[in-house]
Amino acid sequence: MLDGVLTPAAGDAEAGPAVALTVRGLTKSFGSVHAVKSVDLTVHAGKFFGIVGPNGAGKTTTLSMITGLLRPDSGAIEVRGAEVWAGRRARTDGMGVLPDRLRLFDRLTGAQLLHYAGSLRGLDRATIAHRSRDLAIAFGLTASLSRPVSDYSVGMTKKIALASAMIHAPRLLVLDEPFESVDPVSTAAIIRILRRFAAAGGTVVLSSHSMDLIERVCDEVAIIAAGSVLASGPMREVLGGMSLEDRFVELAGGAGAVEGMEWLQSFSG
């Protein structure tokens, strides 16, 4: 049913390059905050690539530069061999993007939002209608398509945004925290959809704080902390026999010390 949407646009996946995305020496500072420090990543086509890291590690900043939302200070980002930031504006034609802070036109209904997303990508009315129907079924949103997105729950909003990111059948999906606030049944359904997308040659880059999910779903992983890549590559190599959570703690450090918080047990009233 979803084949039209899930088969990445243009070309034979098998004939495509093995590397879908390369990031070299990517750097970004905000004043004195060095958010991303010379990050290198290699993402292979047809794979799930997970990015994990503590709060403030630079995940969103990195993904924002990859998806053309934020200009890097320096470094190179190539998608299937083409530099994203070669010109004055970023080239992101073959990408579907779920940004971190969703700013949707939420006075539109779900159906109108999908139509808008499809129109922006140059799809005709019939194709948009057909794909919207398929995506709504896949994401469990059929009954909600005629309601304004402002009335959606957080999880439903995430799902309609994800559907909007996929409607043009991009080759590369870049998803910042796609499963945050999404219920477990919907998460499993979305993962199934994404697996079919990857099996057809599409590539998924996603960030998440859920170590279990990243370990279970992703083929490749990068652990980022304080703007730098601490480990990156095939999941099995990065894990080295450990769980992702243990490896993450080993590389990035554990939670902050809780000594000195005795006042919290003094209860004021």
Ligand X SMILES: Nc1ncnc2c1ncn2[C@@H]1O[C@H](COP(=O)(O)OP(=O)(O)OP(=O)(O)O)[C@@H](O)[C@H]1O
One residue of 61, 132, 144, 157 binding ligand X per CB under 6 A: 61
Which residues, in sequence order, are CB contacts of 117 under 8 Å at separation 6+? 164, 165, 167, 168
Q: Which stretch binds ligand X (CB under 6 A): 53-61, 145-153, 167-175, 247-255?
A: 53-61
Q: Which is nearer to ligand X, 76 or 226 (CB)?
A: 226
Task: Give the nearest distance from C-beta 181 to ligand X in angstroms.
Answer: 14
Q: Which is nearer to ligand X, 28 or 168 (CB)?
A: 28
Token reading at 122: 């140059």
Residue 33 engages ligand X in binding (rule: CB under 6 A) = yes
One residue of 32, 55, 265, 268 binding ligand X per CB under 6 A: 55
Q: Which is nearer to ligand X, 93 or 245 (CB)?
A: 245
Residue 247 engages ligand X in binding (rule: CB under 6 A) = no
Residue 57 engages ligand X in binding (rule: CB under 6 A) = yes
Q: Facing residues of 229 across strands?
A: 224
* 62-65, long-range: CB < 8 A, 24+ apart: 62/23, 62/26, 62/36, 62/224, 63/99, 63/100, 63/174, 63/176, 63/205, 63/207, 64/99, 64/100, 65/26, 65/28, 65/36
> CA-to-CA distance for 117 and 108, rounded, in angstroms?
11
Task: Give the nearest distance from C-beta 64 to ligand X in angstroms.
Answer: 8
Where along the sequence are the contacts to ligand X (CB under 6 A)? 30, 33, 35, 53, 55-61
